[in-house]
Structure 1
Amino acid sequence: MSNSDASAAQRGRPTVLDRGAIATATFRLWAERGYAAVGWKDIAEATGVSVRTLVRHFAHKSDIAWIGVPAATRRLRQALEDTPEQTPVSDAVRRAIVASIADDPMTPAGPDWIQVVCTEPELAVTAPAAYRPWIAELARFLDQRVPDITPTAAAALASGYQAATFSALVSWCESGSHERAADAADEALTWLSVRAG
């Protein structure tokens, strides 16, 4: 293959977009320079993905911040589905939440991610929509497992768990701890309990 043929092949659309690598590089840029100071061109240079491709996959720059939430939602759902019936609800919820943020390099729980989403108003505004599916999964489980709970109460309780988890991650980040983020969330969530009857 000639150099011109190789160049033409490299200019084509990537067959698979590595969303994790894009998010990791972008979070690092945002943490170093600030969210507002980083444009699409900077993200393209850091990731090796063209601006045109980035914009095709992410309608807004803020969408990159929530790239790990769908996978975390799938892990949460699977952990809840795998929970034995006899497991106390509070334990089931805590374990599933920890599973949703653990053991995945694309988990939205790294220090760069937390630093950015805690300090950028544009991201704070988009957070409720990003977390809605995760909260809905947890609310569905609570609605099924907690006698007499209303759907409204289940949704409120699930939202409370999401807020508590995020707060634990923020504290973990600010402390400079060397423990895993999931372990910090696990410890914090042991203080919450659901009255199941």
Structure 2
Amino acid sequence: MSNSDASAPQRGRPTVLDRAAIATEAFRLWAERGYDDVGWKDIAEATGVSVRTLVRHFARKSDIAWIGVPAATRRLRDALDDTPEGSPVGDAVRRAIVASISDDPMMPAGPAWIRVVCAEPEIAGTAPTAYQPWIDELARFIDHRVPGITPAAATAVASGYQAATFAALVAWSEAGSHERAAAAADEALTWLSIPAP
């Protein structure tokens, strides 16, 4: 798609954007030049999508870093919804989190993505907002499955699992391991538990 095609969409028709391709190019540019040295124009030239279209779809440049989180949240929700009623909560949570992790190197939680997210304060600063729907899904499940837990406690536990998962993925990325990201997270999460009621 040329820049002129992207900047002149037909009226009344929604713009279809290959968000994964945009993220791939943005991460490539950020890795080569640094996050602060890559502007909207650079991303537009690399992707063939106009600056105007990019800005319409991404309120901030840092939003590009989080495009994989909604899909991860859907995978988490689907895995939680498929959990048999009698399954131990801790095991169900761990399996669902592992199911939510993508093997795409530019999506959460590939090594290239993790390096950029950790290195760039602007991106890291938007992580709490980006991950809130994922945490909310996990908290909903915990609240439903753990008798007596308060919604605040369920959210705290879910937030702890999110932080532990991200820490495991950072360690995996830094180690240069050849194992899958999901396997690294699975191994780390076995050390966490939710007490049986």
| Same-fold status (TM-score > 0.5) | yes
Cα gap change, 1:173 to 1:22, in 2 (>3 Å): same
Code of the aligned partner of 2:108? P
Q: Is the 8 A contact 1:90 1:193 kept in 2?
A: yes
Quote the Cα distance in structure 1 between the aligned partners of 2:24 and 2:62. Answer: 14
Asked if 1:166 is matched to 2:166, the reply is yes
Cα gap change, 1:17 to 1:164, in 2 (>3 Å): same
Match of 1:196, SS?
coil
Structure-2 residue corresponding to 1:96: 96
Cα gap change, 1:191 to 1:7, in 2 (>3 Å): closer
Quote the Cα distance in structure 2 between the aligned partners of 1:12 and 1:60. Answer: 22
Code of the aligned partner of 1:37? D
Quote the Cα distance in structure 1 between the aligned partners of 2:54 and 2:112. Answer: 20
Cα gap change, 1:192 to 1:9, in 2 (>3 Å): closer
Identity of aligned residues (%): 78
Code of the aligned partner of 2:177? S
Quote the Cα distance in structure 1 between the aligned partners of 2:43 and 2:176. Answer: 27
Quote the Cα distance in structure 1 between the aligned partners of 2:80 and 2:66. Answer: 22
Q: Is the 8 A contact 1:27 1:116 kept in 2?
A: yes
Cα deviation 1:109-132 (Å, max 9, x = unaligned): 111110111111111211111111
- In the superposition, the TM-score normalised over structure 1's length comes to 0.91
Cα deviation 1:53-99 (Å, max 9, x = unaligned): 11111111011011111111111111000001121111100110011
Quote the Cα distance in structure 1 between the aligned partners of 2:113 and 2:29. Answer: 10
1:159 deviation in Å? Answer: 0.2
Code of the aligned partner of 1:51? V
1:196 deviation in Å? Answer: 2.4
Aligned residues: 192
Runs of 4+ in 1 over 4 A off after TM superposition: 6-11, 103-106
Quote the Cα distance in structure 2 between the aligned partners of 1:112 and 1:136. Answer: 26
Cα gap change, 1:96 to 1:106, in 2 (>3 Å): farther
1:150 deviation in Å? Answer: 0.8
Query: Structure 2: where are the runs of 5+ without partners?
Result: none
